[in-house]
Chain A
Amino acid sequence: MTIASSAVRSSSSRSTAPQPRTPRRPKPSPRRPSWLNQRRVIGVGSVVVIIAIWELVALAHLKPALILPGPVDVVRAFKDLFSTGAIWTDLGTSGTELVVGLGLAAVVGLPLGLLIGWYERISYALNPIINFLYATPRIALTPLLIIWLGIGSSSKIAIVFLMAFFPVLINTAQGMQSLEQGVVRVARCFGANDLQLFRTVALPGTVPFIISGLRLAVGQALIGVFVAELSGAQHGVGLMMNTAGQQFQTSKVFAGLFIFAFAGVTLTYLLRRIEQHYAAWRPSSR
């Protein structure tokens, strides 16, 4: 140690102590703010270019504005939509259907998936039912559910639930079943009981699977909201789009489309944040 430090002193006269050997990660260039990274610049740039092309095509009037509105028309449609209170009812109705259906799917699907993954006998008992329902195009149950539950929100929530439930359930069960057996063996070797094994190995190991199940569920739930509202509803963004479509209010249809897309992107973003929080150990998410 003394030899090393004296060698450092003799080679560089100014440093008084040997530098710690911790390797430093290269810092991003200091001239740019951190949010302005390459990924964002290219991503935002491509969106801007696509919108510009869209506007140019619309301005060229290849098709009448009634059929192909430009971005400016869509923005105007948004303004019109939000000038009256009706859109808030639609948003509230669709939003409630989406959130409640998705929430129920998570609340029921997660524990059930964990049970199926943990206890083989439960999976033997439930697999036939799950396979049957998963193979069925569940959106085809919409007419049936509307007959049973009416055209109010409850039939929509049921559809959304059915659409979102299976991705959550199947992914959670699969995550549970694909636990690293070596890690389980280590836990057993240290004398872990079932509860400890579940808490320290099974649950954390399943988190990435749960998150990707939820991400799939979001997409399915949005399909559920839209299609269910087409089949008969009193309020909702899907209904609004359908009505606008029948009246050739094409820019309003586009506005509805963007509302759906925005909901999906927001929920997916939130899930990614949760994933980064719980799965920071995964090399891919760094």
Chain B
Amino acid sequence: MLRRQNGAVSSRSGDAAGVPEAREGGTAHLEARDVLIQYSKPGSTEVVTAVDGCDLTLERGDFICIVGPSGCGKTTFLNAVAGFVATTGGRLELDGRAIPGPGPDRAMVFQQANLLPWRTVTANVTYGLELSGRATKAEARRRAEDLVELVGLAEAAHSYPAQLSGGMQARVNLARALAVEPELLLLDEPFASIDAQTRETMQVELLRVCAARDVTALFVTHDISEAAFLADRVCVFGPRPGRIVKEIQIPWERPRSHEIRRTPEFAAVCDEISDALYGAIAAAHDNDLEGVH
């Protein structure tokens, strides 16, 4: 019962409803090897090392969570994958090619929904498609309507963002990112500003939507139980320098239901993540102290 082996909506089945063309090609995946990201603070020559020696492999269909304390460089790493930040060293490749900059093959879901307030829900969802010009107006609209229904907002399709609750805005945010059919969905603490109950609902919804659309996702969070609930694999990010200190396999099939949160196994997984996390924080702290003495 806990290990939901029911394969009917398995995340890796390619026959998800509503996806017109399944992309062909080799193993589309993200590969990070020994990634180094440094930047200099504006107005000073001091170089900050945000990420150093970060290794990560993401296979198509994976749902990976990066969990780490705030300021550890996990968001910087995500921004590098998105193409907003350039890497200083190491290899960061998508389908075997270095990442040149932001592109339509990756979509980012930010913490703030940042919807266009003068557009209705449906028009917000079509926004990315309009900009890319990859679909006709009618096609974009049809896809948006499907997605709005998928995220459970069919009744609010013609509302403006100001009329929506925070949870509903987060759903629109997700639908908008999915509309461009990204090969890789990047999520930067998308539920951090939502209340706890809505957040748990949204987590289940996210897994359901990802299964329906066969999404590959890289999800950054500081919330241990969120990471454990969502991911196939949780990557614990340690601070100073930012790197992945431990990868923890999560045993449950996706999509998942709330029930697993109440199991002892779930608690054990959360403990394992937090041990790794606090171990990394303590190690970084010790390093700092050594530097002082």
Contact = CB atoms under 8 A, between A and B. Distances in A.
A279 B116 CA distance: 12
A190 interface: yes
B162 A200 contact: no
Contacts of A205: 117-118
A246 interface: no
B127 A190 contact: yes
22 contacts: A21-B155, A180-B114, A182-B112, A183-B114, A187-B131, A189-B82, A189-B102, A190-B127, A190-B128, A190-B180, A191-B131, A196-B131, A200-B116, A200-B131, A201-B116, A204-B118, A279-B118, A280-B160, A281-B117, A281-B118, A282-B162, A283-B160
Given A204-B116, A204-B118, A191 B102 contact: yes
Contact of A185 (B114, B127, B163): B114
B165 to A, nearest CB: 13
A21 B156 CA distance: 12
Contact of B110 (A186, A192, A200, A282): A186
**On chain B, which size bracket covers the interface?**
20 to 34
A19 interface: no
Contacts of B118: 204-205, 207, 279, 281
A189 B83 CA distance: 9
Interface in A187-220: 187-192, 196, 200-201, 204-205, 207
Contacts of B161: 281
Nearest to B82: A189
Contacts of B119: 281
Given A281-B162, A282-B117, A182 B132 contact: no
B132 A191 contact: yes
A183 B131 contact: no
Interface of A: 21-22, 180, 182-183, 185-192, 196, 200-201, 204-205, 207, 279-283
A182 B116 contact: no
Contacts of A182: 110, 112, 114
Nearest to B163: A283
Contact of B114 (A186, A200, A280): A186
A189 B107 CA distance: 7
Nearest to B119: A281
Interface in B124-162: 127-128, 130-132, 155, 160-162
A200 B108 contact: no
B251 interface: no
B194 to A, nearest CB: 16
A21 B117 CA distance: 26
A185 B107 CA distance: 12
Contacts of A282: 117, 162
Contacts of A187: 127, 131
A215 to B, nearest CB: 19
Task: Choose among A192, A201, A205, A281 the residue with the greatest number of B CB atoms under 10 Å from its CB.
Answer: A281
A187 B130 CA distance: 11
Interface string B93-130: 00000000011100110101011111100000001101
Most buried by B among A182, A190, A204: A190
Contacts of B102: 188-189, 191
Interface of B: 82, 84, 102-104, 107-108, 110, 112, 114-119, 127-128, 130-132, 155, 160-163, 180
B287 to A, nearest CB: 34
A282 B114 CA distance: 15
Nearest to A180: B114
Nearest to A279: B118
A197 to B, nearest CB: 9
Contact of B132 (A183, A185, A190, A207): A190
Given A190-B128, A281-B161, 13 more contacts: A21-B155, A187-B127, A189-B84, A189-B108, A190-B104, A190-B127, A200-B127, A201-B116, A204-B116, A204-B118, A205-B117, A279-B118, A283-B162
A175 to B, nearest CB: 13
Contact of A191 (B103, B115, B162): B103
A145 B16 CA distance: 73
Contacts of A188: 102
Nearest to B84: A189
Nearest to A187: B131
A190 B127 CA distance: 9
Contacts of A190: 104, 107, 127-128, 131-132, 180
A176 B252 CA distance: 49
A155 B167 CA distance: 58
A22 B115 CA distance: 24
Nearest to A278: B118
Contacts of A192: 131
A281 B131 CA distance: 21
A250 B82 CA distance: 73
A82 to B, nearest CB: 44
